[in-house]
């Protein structure tokens, strides 16, 4: 079976922390998903005067368009290439949707962060969820574009190469790692990195190393932006020392640890 990602893309993932896949799922699936999402938004898609909030957060979605978008053959092959065959679980929901609207209001959620992957003392409090150097619980951070996203449409900001810095920061904290908030508070001490905007047509997916720092931003465009950020859940921890070849996710962590 033909590989989805070539050697240059794999190298880009290891060193920069992400890879972009165009046409990862069908634009018609994206349109079907948007119709479902609009049913849960207190606003009229055809009347901008009703778009009164800068961001609306919607819950987990398990309907067919979402699950099909997350499980295309292209994505499954890419998951195998980046995380390792047999090292991840298929997505059964699309996670939460931060739907962003054109607005002059501050959305209040634009800080740099790394998504947490396993629960802390209070599983109901996401700010207490944790991240450790083995990336327990998470194989990839994923950005699914369910609408066309240009530079003015609040594209997610990705700090390239930040996964290398974050892995080194996490290593001294062993298996316990850091909480979402603890790690977010330390990101300002890391080296300055180039920023890339996660733009693209509906159906584009960014597959990111789980340690990549990223941030939201205000919407200065004209049309609502629909993206999802589900995790690719891992089967077991990475960096197990079992003698098997390292996946690109692990290779990036190993490269980081050799620098610190």
pLDDT in tens, the chain (260 residues): 678 999 999 999 999 999 999 999 999 999 999 999 999 999 999 999 999 999 999 988 999 999 999 999 999 999 999 999 999 999 999 888 999 999 999 999 999 999 999 998 888 888 899 999 999 999 999 999 999 999 999 999 999 999 999 999 999 999 999 999 999 999 999 999 999 999 999 999 999 999 999 999 999 999 999 999 999 999 888 887 676 789 999 999 999 887 76
> What pLDDT does residue 238 have?
87
Residue ranges per structural domain of the chain:
7-44+51-257
What b-and-e string marks burial along 21-44, b requiring 16 or more CB atoms within 10 Å of the CB?
beebbebebbebbbeebeeebebe
* Residue closest to 173 by CA, chosen among 47, 260, 69: 260
The domain 7-44+51-257 is classified under which CATH number: 3.40.190.10, 2.60.120.330, 3.60.21.10, 3.40.30.10?
Answer: 2.60.120.330
CB 224 within 8 A of CB 150: no
Q: Which of 234, 198, 232 is nearest to 215 (CA)?
A: 198
CA 37 to CA 57: how far, in whole Å?
10
């Amino acid at each position: 079976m033909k590989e989805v990602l070539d050697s240059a893309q794999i190298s880009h993932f290891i060193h920069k922390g992400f890879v972009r896949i165009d046409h990862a799922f069908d634009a018609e699936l994206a349109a079907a998903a948007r119709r479902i999402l609009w049913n849960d938004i207190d606003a009229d898609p055809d009347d901008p005067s009703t778009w009164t909030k800068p961001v609306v957060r919607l819950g987990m979605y398990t309907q067919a368009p979402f699950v099909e978008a997350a499980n295309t053959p292209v994505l499954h092959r890419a998951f195998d290439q980046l995380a390792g065959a047999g090292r991840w679980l298929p997505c059964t929901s699309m996670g939460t949707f931060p739907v962003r609207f054109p607005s002059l209001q501050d959305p209040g959620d634009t800080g740099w962060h790394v998504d947490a992957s396993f629960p802390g003392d209070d599983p109901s409090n996401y700010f207490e969820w944790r991240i450790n150097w083995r990336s327990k619980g998470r194989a990839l951070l994923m950005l699914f574009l369910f609408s066309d996203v240009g530079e003015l449409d609040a594209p997610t900001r990705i700090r390239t190469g930040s996964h290398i810095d974050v892995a080194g920061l996490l290593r001294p904290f062993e298996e316990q790692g850091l909480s979402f908030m603890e790690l977010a508070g330390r990101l300002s001490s890391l080296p300055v990195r180039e920023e890339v905007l996660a733009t693209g047509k509906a159906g584009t997916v960014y597959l990111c190393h789980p340690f990549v720092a990223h941030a939201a931003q205000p919407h200065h465009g004209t049309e609502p932006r629909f993206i999802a950020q589900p995790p690719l859940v891992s089967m077991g921890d990475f960096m197990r020392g079992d003698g098997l070849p390292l996946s690109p996710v692990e290779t990036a962590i190993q490269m980081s640890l050799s620098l610190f």
